[in-house]
């Protein structure tokens, strides 16, 4: 069975259209049709229902598509990773979640470039969950994440735990009193802005509409019990009475700045919008979230150990508590 035939079927099935597939594959419609017919003859099964408009797969075709989708992704990763091994480049692709960008990431990149002046660093804003596929396929070489995963091909090292702080509008009474060491129970009557939509979607597979709800009860059992900020409140026996869910941390802070509510963010974000937002430490020792560094277990980038050393140096210079892990044996 020819790979070209599989790819033709995969593209048409994925895009659910012959004409859309012509643009992607650069093959004409008759050529795509011929390749798919040859594939159907190879396996003796009709994959596309040709009498149906718009295009539909047969039940067997839908099953076959699902199977080869995973196989073709694996194949593409194998090719990318093999090329990286054969032709090591001086390029390091780093995936990161937005919250680390406001913290130490710029300092880490600048120190890394001083240590390895010929290294070209490319940065990609990508959620903790999407980082796994991107690492496996070789799109990124290393990543900084906030949530743990259990994928056996990806190594995940805990760098440190970072404290949460409360972000409140500048005209809020606690800001005016400059009250530090807040307890979450003091904040439960405020409208809490939640921003872990992508995280919840990946956990539950639930549709975005559940995560878009504007009250805690509408988050549903799965959303509410896994929502990281609600979990922090629940640990302190506190329940926010009003919540609003937005798509990311920048929007959450934008709404706080506009006086729409309060939120909790990692301490490294305290320099965001300081004219409109006041940040307050929390009394709870365990109100923290982790920072992980992740990489492909079998193919660590040659610059990985230097990157780790640079991060540890920055922690030491700035007096940041962290957990030192052994560098990878080369
Ligand atoms: C940190 O805040 O610990 C951190 C942020 C980005 C890269 C590495 C570490």
How far is the C-alpha of 207 from the C-alpha of 227, rounded, in Å?
Answer: 15
Q: Measured in angstroms, how far is the CA atom of residue 142 from the centroid of ligand 1?
A: 13
Considering only the C-alpha atoms of the chain, give the largest distance between any 2 of them, rounded to a whole number of Å.
Answer: 77
Determine whether the shortest distance from the Cβ of 100 to ligand 1 is under 6 A: yes
* φ and ψ at residue 180, rounded to 5 degrees: -100, 175
**For atom 6 of ligand 1, which residue has the closest CA?**
105
Nearest CA to ligand 1 atom 8: 105
Structure tokens at 88: 């090591």
Give the closest residue to 1 by CA, choosing from 28, 35, 30, 31: 35
Q: Would the CB of 291 count as within 6 Å of ligand 1?
A: yes
Nearest atom in ligand 1 to the alpha carbon of residue 105 is 6
- Residue 180: predicted pLDDT: 86
Instruction: State the pLDDT at residue 229.
Output: 95
Pair type for strands 191-194 and 242-245: parallel
Q: Which atom of ligand 1 is found nearest the CA of 160?
A: 3
E-only strand ranges, the chain: 48-49, 56-57, 91-96, 120-125, 142-145, 154-169, 191-194, 242-245, 263-266, 277-281, 288-296
Nearest CA to ligand 1 atom 7: 105
Q: How many Cβ atoms sit within 10 Å of the Cβ of residue 323?
A: 12
Q: Which long-range contacts (CB under 8 A, 24 or more apart) does 37-40 make?
A: 38/2, 38/5, 39/1, 39/5, 39/6, 39/8, 39/9
| Ligand 1 in reach of 160 Cβ (< 6 A) | yes
Q: How far is the CA of 329 from the centre of ligand 1 (A)?
A: 22
> 231 CA distance to ligand 1 centroid (A)?
23
Ligand 1 contact, 167 CB (< 6 A): no
Question: 13 in ligand 1 pocket by Cβ < 6 Å?
Answer: no
Per-residue confidence (pLDDT) for residue 150, from 0 to 100 = 83
Distance 194 CA to ligand 1 centre (A): 22
Write phi, then psi, for 168 (nearest 5 degrees): -130, 155
Which pLDDT score is estimated for 211? 35
The pTM of this model reads 0.75
* Residue 144 CB–ligand 1 contact under 6 Å: yes
Per-residue pLDDT of the chain (330 residues; tens, 9 = 90+): 689 999 999 999 999 999 999 999 999 999 999 999 999 999 999 999 988 778 899 999 999 999 999 999 889 888 888 887 777 778 999 999 988 988 899 999 999 999 999 999 999 999 888 899 999 989 999 999 998 888 999 999 999 999 999 999 999 999 988 888 999 999 999 999 999 876 666 665 433 333 333 333 334 444 456 899 999 999 999 999 899 999 889 999 999 999 999 999 999 999 999 999 999 999 999 999 999 999 999 889 999 999 999 999 999 999 999 988 766 655
For residue 203, the model assigns a pLDDT of 60
| Ligand 1 atom having least distance to the Cα of 266 | 2
pLDDT of residue 313: 96
Nearest CA to ligand 1 atom 4: 104
Probe residue for ligand 1, chosen from 160, 270, 290, 291 as the CB with the greatest number of ligand atoms within 8 Å? 291
Q: Which token pair is 62? A: 């839908």
Q: Count the Cβ atoms, other than its own, within 10 Å of residue 179.
A: 16
Atom of ligand 1 nearest to the CA of 293: 8
């Amino acid at each position: 069975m020819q790979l070209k035939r599989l790819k033709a079927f995969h593209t048409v099935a994925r895009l659910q259209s012959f004409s859309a597939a012509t643009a992607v594959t650069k093959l004409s419609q008759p050529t795509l049709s011929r390749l798919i017919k040859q594939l159907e003859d190879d396996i003796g099964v009709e994959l596309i229902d040709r009498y149906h408009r718009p295009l539909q797969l047969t039940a067997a075709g839908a099953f076959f598509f699902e199977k080869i989708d995973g196989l073709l992704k694996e194949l593409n990763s194998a090719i990318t990773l093999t090329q990286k091994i054969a032709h090591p480049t001086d390029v390091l692709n780093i995936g990161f979640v937005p919250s680390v960008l406001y913290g130490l990431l710029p300092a880490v990149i600048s120190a890394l470039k001083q240590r390895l002046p010929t290294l070209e660093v490319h940065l990609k804003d990508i959620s903790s969950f999407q980082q796994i596929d991107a690492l496996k396929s070789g799109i990124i070489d290393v990543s900084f994440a906030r949530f743990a995963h259990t994928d056996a091909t990806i190594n995940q090292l805990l760098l440190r735990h970072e404290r949460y702080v409360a972000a409140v509008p500048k005209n809020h009474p606690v800001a005016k009193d400059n009250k530090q060491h807040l307890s979450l129970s003091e904040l439960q009557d405020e409208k809490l802005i939640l921003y872990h939509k992508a995280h919840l979607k990946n956990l539950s597979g639930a549709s975005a509409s559940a995560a878009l709800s504007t009250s805690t009860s509408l988050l549903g059992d799965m959303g509410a019990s896994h929502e990281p900020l609600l979990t922090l409140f629940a640990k302190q026996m506190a329940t926010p009475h009003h919540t609003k869910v937005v798509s990311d941390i920048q929007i959450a802070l934008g709404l706080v700045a506009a006086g729409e509510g309060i939120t909790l963010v990692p301490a490294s974000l305290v320099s965001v919008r300081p004219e409109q937002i006041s940040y307050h430490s929390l009394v709870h020792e365990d109100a923290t979230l982790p920072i992980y560094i992740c990489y492909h277990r079998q193919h660590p980038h040659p610059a990985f150990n230097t990157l780790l050393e640079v991060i540890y140096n920055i922690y030491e210079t700035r007096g940041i508590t962290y957990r030192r892990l052994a560098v990878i044996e080369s």
